Amino acid sequence: MGFWNVLFGGAELSPEEEKKAQEEKNFDLLKYDGVKAMKIGQADYAVRCFQEALKLKNDLEIHDYLSQTLLRLGRLDEALTELQVLAGAEPGNAPIQKRMAQVAYMQEDYATMAAACEQAMQIDPADAYACYLNAQAQQGQGNPVGAIAMLTKAIALDENYADAYLLRGQMLLGMGDTAGADSDVAWLTEHAGEHEDVLLLKARIETAKGNAAEAIETYGQVIELNPFSIEAFRERGQLRFDGGDKAGAEQDLQKVLELDPNSLADVSGEYSAEGIEQRVKEAYSIVNPLGL
């Protein structure tokens, strides 16, 4: 480069300027290679490129790319560190705060999640999603009342927020408020149509209300939508057993074991009685004579 400057009458670059120019070139190459690697799924190589680029220049865009790539690799602590750098540089950036909350949720770090949500809500008080994330954080911290309050606020900001209705209904049922949970299920049924999670919540509400027949019918609807729903088979089987339908209970328990052979330990109470368990084992031995 110095040769051409001299040839055309320009001042020759100093060693420091030459070094800086080379670093700029290297930075651009590392950034380009990192982004390309990220797009084609070569995440480990992309991380190395971004980390080397940051040694040359503290660039927020690179921190952003690096956080996304680390997240794909499941390196959550490192991803959160990169997001904290971005949040420090851009304290008014609500999307960064929400991404921090999402990473903290995956780490089950609900205190950090709640703090990020509070920051996002301060930046944009009309952000329904930030309220929903905060509700999940409150739930994780064992604060159902606070979680329900956040969900109610999210719904007030977005009256069509189906996920917020569903989570609130689930939490209300957990607190014994079947009427409140029923109200949320009614809205979901009207506006979201038949959905596995909604029907599962409805079946549990009917169970809590003592309406076994309605609950069994609804569990059947869940199974029609998802023939692999272990929860629906297990919970319907419990109701059948309690109602004296031993054959139906055995069928459901056998289906649970087919879908997840290790789930028998999760079946509590009389439903896991030796009689049913033995008959299921006998049924398996017919398929596998060795009884393995």
pLDDT by residue (tens digit) across 23-43? 899 999 999 999 999 999 999
Whether pLDDT at 237 is above 50: yes
Cα gap 13→292, rounded to integer Å: 78
pTM for the model stands at 0.81
Alpha-carbon torsion angle 17, 21, 24, 25, nearest 10: -160
Residue 7 pLDDT class (50, 70, 90 cuts): very low
Q: For position 272, what pLDDT does the model report?
A: 52
Q: For position 203, what pLDDT does the model report?
A: 97
Considering only 56-65, 135-144, 277-286, which range has the smallest mean pLDDT? Answer: 277-286
Cα gap 86→59, rounded to integer Å: 10
Q: For position 277, what pLDDT does the model report?
A: 54
What are the φ and ψ backbone dihedral angles of 190, each rounded to 5 degrees? Answer: -75, -40
What's 227's DSSP letter?
Answer: T
Are 82 and 63 in contact by the 8 Å Cβ rule? The answer is yes
Whether pLDDT at 14 is above 50: yes
Query: What average pLDDT does the chain have?
Result: 87
Whether pLDDT at 279 is above 60: no
